[in-house]
Amino acid sequence: MTPVVSVYVGVGARRGVPAAEVLELIEQTLAEAGTGTAVPRPSALATVDAKAYEAGLLEAAARLGVPLRSYGPDALSQVAVPSASAAAALTAVGTPSVAEAAALMAAGPGAVLAVGKRKSARATCAVAYGPA
């Protein structure tokens, strides 16, 4: 029997990113996280506090019917991730990782990064699994 897990999507974005771009990136990244034909459904989207009111992220969460959770840069910077971007994200929002760190924080203790950071022109996305 396969253990039940929850799926969390971490997202980072540049100012003004359209929801359509965010949703397309999320869909592609979730497809990578799926097994066979089953594409997992996220429990929540997660980002850094500085992006919590970004219209494209809010609209993407609303279209998916999930909450958009946000975390402070100090908390996110404490999360060990494989694809930290020391320059870009640190300068922009105060943490070296948004997508991967936010996904792992949202998933909670024991979380596993299922798909590392993926990029579009103006967004990043990562998927983590956590206990249900």
pLDDT along the chain (132 residues), means of 10: 76 95 95 73 94 96 97 90 66 76 94 94 94 76
> SS3 for 86?
coil
Which residue is associated with the tokens 């494989």? Answer: 82
Smallest Cα–Cα separation from 47: which of 56, 34, 38? 56
CA nearest neighbour of 99 among 75, 120, 123, 122: 123
What pLDDT, on the 0 to 100 scale, is given for residue 96? 75
Q: Are the C-beta atoms of 125 and 131 separated by less than 8 Å?
A: no
Domain ranges of the chain: 5-131
The predicted pLDDT at position 35 comes to: 59
CATH architecture entry for 5-131: 2-Layer Sandwich (3.30)
- Which helix (H) or strand (E) segment holds residue 30: the answer is helix 19-33
| Amino acid at site 63 | R
pLDDT of amino acid 88: 58
Structure tokens at 59: 């609209």
